[in-house]
């Protein structure tokens, strides 16, 4: 599976990092354009290329500003970004503990099935345990059967929840109450 780096620390996940040339490390502000490029690739892979409204500046501002609202680990092969896991922390009142929510997981088409997705999630899990997180949550786009299969093989389950979104004018109206 190779080595990866979280923060300034290196972790070994087995395998030989020189063999596959992939290094996973926490992203920095300078990585915002690469993160945005991978998010656009994810939207194309899900056949939703017009759904990404963010910009590299948004990624830099909200991921690396004075109060970051998300973090990212990037996978690079030979310096080229080939995957990412974008995540943030949450708290479960029912579990009584912190967790981590995976907002986006993307692996370049060429590397699907290589174990890179698992390595990216492992990098997040290692980092999250340092902040006392005890669980990982995510949602899967409707119709993404490949993603459902991948997450199921890792042990993810589907609790009795349904994701709802309030945005645009409805969100603005609620915020004015």
Tens digits of per-residue pLDDT, 2-15? 344 444 434 434 44
Query: What is the CATH topology of the domain spanning 3-175?
Result: Aminopeptidase (3.40.630)
**What pLDDT, on a 0 to 100 scale, did the predictor assign at position 19?**
57
What number is the average pLDDT over the span 80-91? 97
- Residue 9 is predicted with a pLDDT of 35
Q: What is the pTM of this model?
A: 0.85
The per-residue pLDDT for range 143-177, each reduced to its tens digit, is: 888 999 999 999 999 888 888 889 999 999 999 98
What whole-number percentage of the chain has pLDDT above 90? Answer: 77
The pLDDT of residue 86 is above 70: yes
The tokens 């590299």 sit on which residue? Answer: 56
Question: Between vectors from CA 172 to CA 169 and to CA 177, what angle results, nearest 5°?
Answer: 130
């Amino acid at each position: 599976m190779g080595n990866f780096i979280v923060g300034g620390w290196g972790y070994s996940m087995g395998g030989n990092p020189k063999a596959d040339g992939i290094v996973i490390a926490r992203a920095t502000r300078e990585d915002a354009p690469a993160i945005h490029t991978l998010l656009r690739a994810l939207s194309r892979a899900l056949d939703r290329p017009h759904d990404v409204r963010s910009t590299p500046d948004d990624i830099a501002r909200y991921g690396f500003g004075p109060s970051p609202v998300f973090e990212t680990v990037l996978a690079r092969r030979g310096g080229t970004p080939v995957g990412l896991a974008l995540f943030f922390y949450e708290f479960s009142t029912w579990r009584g503990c912190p967790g981590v929510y995976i907002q986006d997981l993307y692996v370049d088409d060429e590397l699907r099935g290589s174990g890179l997705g698992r390595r990216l999630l492992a990098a997040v899990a290692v980092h999250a345990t340092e902040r006392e997180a005890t669980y990982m949550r995510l949602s899967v786009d409707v119709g993404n059967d490949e993603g459902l299969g991948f997450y199921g093989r890792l042990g993810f389950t589907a609790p009795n929840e349904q994701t709802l979104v309030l945005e645009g004018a409805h969100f603005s109206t609620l915020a004015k109450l």
